[in-house]
């Protein structure tokens, strides 16, 4: 009988490429993972890894096992979901990874609803960027991920991960209440100071692309993914920002002036779970609570 844990380690090696990357993701030492995979070779009677330079490469036999492992792990998720559905009460823990605007606008309301309806459910939420969140989902660090996808920047679909749309959220440009940029159109902001997410993250890349499409290279004075900081810099006249409508679900923009961007672009908000886990009652009720928290018309 093949050991499921060792099969999962092999699949993680196939996805991450190196023993060191698997070790970092799963909090093991590389030597411990190597020992587990050596034992898996003994169980299968096949050579699973080939040494290439200082690294290793999966053999064809290993890739056969990986394909079956995807199916095996999905069936185990389905079995857990069926078992949980047989219970009369939604219990246990749910580990969620989210990004800031959803945590500010939707998560508190969803948690209040869940606390009233399912008091035995324990929800843990971590602030995490999209790439790390999906990796953590596959590695079983999280049970559900809240993700975002920007126009023109489609996210690669990860095998073994199921996504469900939550909402489509318009992005606008935010300018200070007064001063030279308060009534400008986007093409007029070529000399304005901007606050954007870092350029290596999807929101920051998309924002810079919007400016370039408008005919100028933005003067990014501040690089931060903290939306509350971005709002504050706009309020005080120090920067211009691109902000999601979701941010104003339960609050007023105050003195900030919001304007439509060309084409009125919208980001896609979604939830992601491991394949087969969508039927878990704790996942189902959390998704329902999130949908109920989305403002009408979103």
**Of 1.10.10.10, 1.10.150.20, 3.40.50.2300, 3.90.1170.50, which CATH number belongs to 4-84?**
1.10.10.10
| C-alpha pair distances (Å), 86 with each of 82, 116, 280 | 7, 21, 10
CATH number of 91-168+268-293: 3.40.190.10
The answer to whether residue 237 scores a pLDDT higher than 90 is: yes
Over residues 247-280, the pLDDT tens digits come to 998 788 889 999 999 999 999 999 999 988 888 8
Q: Do domains 91-168+268-293 and 169-266 have the same CATH topology?
A: yes
* Cβ contact 145:137 at 8 Å: yes
- How does DSSP assign 10-66, residue by residue? HHHHHHH-SHHHHHHHHT--HHHHHHHHHHHHHHHTS--EEEETTEEEE-HHHHHHH
The continuous run of DSSP H or E covering 77 comes out as helix 60-85
Q: Percentage of the chain surpassing pLDDT 90?
A: 47
Q: How far apart are CA 168 and CA 190, in angstroms?
A: 28
For residue 73, what pLDDT band results from cuts at 50, 70 and 90? confident
Backbone angles phi, psi at 56, to 5 degrees: -130, 160
pLDDT higher at 108 or 250: 108
The answer to whether residue 47 scores a pLDDT higher than 90 is: no
Contacts 24+ apart (CB under 8 A), 53-61: 55/17, 55/18, 55/19, 56/13, 56/18, 56/19, 58/10, 58/13, 58/14
Q: How far apart are CA 253 and CA 263, in angstroms?
A: 22
Structure tokens at 21: 């990357």
The answer to whether residue 117 scores a pLDDT higher than 70 is: yes
* Maximum separation of any 2 CA atoms in the chain, in Å: 73
Residue boundaries of the structural domains of the chain: 4-84, 91-168+268-293, 169-266
The mean pLDDT value of the chain amounts to: 88
For residue 45, what pLDDT band results from cuts at 50, 70 and 90? confident
Contacts of 149 (CB under 8 A, 6+ apart): 155, 202, 267, 268, 270
Contacts of 79 (CB under 8 A, 6+ apart): none
Determine the pLDDT at residue 259: 94
Over residues 166-217, the pLDDT tens digits come to 999 999 999 999 888 887 789 999 999 999 999 999 999 999 999 999 999 9
| C-alpha pair distances (Å), 262 with each of 38, 234, 279 | 56, 20, 40
For residue 88, what pLDDT band results from cuts at 50, 70 and 90? low
The answer to whether residue 112 scores a pLDDT higher than 70 is: yes
Determine the pLDDT at residue 87: 62
Q: Which CATH class is domain 169-266?
A: alpha beta
């Amino acid at each position: 009988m093949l050991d499921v844990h060792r099969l999962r380690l092999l699949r993680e090696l196939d996805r991450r490429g190196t023993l060191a990357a698997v070790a970092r993701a799963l909090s093991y030492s590389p030597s411990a993972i190597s020992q587990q995979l050596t034992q898996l070779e003994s169980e299968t009677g096949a050579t699973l890894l080939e040494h290439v330079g200082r690294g290793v490469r999966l053999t064809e036999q290993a890739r056969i096992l990986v394909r079956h492992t995807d199916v095996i792990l999905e069936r185990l998720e389905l079995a857990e979901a069926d078992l949980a559905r047989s219970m009369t009460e939604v219990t246990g823990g749910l580990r969620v990874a989210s990004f800031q605007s959803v945590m500010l606008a939707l998560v508190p309301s969803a948690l209040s609803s869940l606390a009233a309806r399912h008091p035995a459910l324990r929800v843990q939420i971590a602030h995490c960027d999209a790439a790390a969140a999906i990796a953590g989902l596959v590695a079983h660090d999280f049970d559900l991920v809240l993700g975002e996808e920007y126009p023109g920047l489609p996210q690669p679909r990860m095998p073994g991960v199921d996504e469900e749309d939550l909402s489509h959220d318009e992005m606008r440009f935010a300018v200070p209440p007064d001063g030279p940029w308060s009534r400008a159109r986007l093409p007029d902001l070529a000399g304005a100071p901007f606050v954007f997410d870092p350029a290596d993250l999807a929101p920051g890349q998309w924002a810079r692309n919007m400016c370039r499409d408008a005919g100028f290279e933005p003067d990014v004075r501040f690089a931060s993914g903290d939306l509350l900081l971005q709002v504050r810099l706009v309020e005080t006249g120090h920067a211009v920002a691109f902000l999601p409508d979701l941010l104003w679900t339960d609050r007023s923009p105050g003195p900030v002036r919001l304007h439509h961007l060309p084409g009125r672009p919208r980001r896609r908000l979604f939830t992601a779970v491991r394949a087969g886990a969508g039927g878990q009652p704790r996942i189902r009720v959390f998704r329902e609570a999130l949908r109920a928290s989305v403002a009408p018309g979103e």
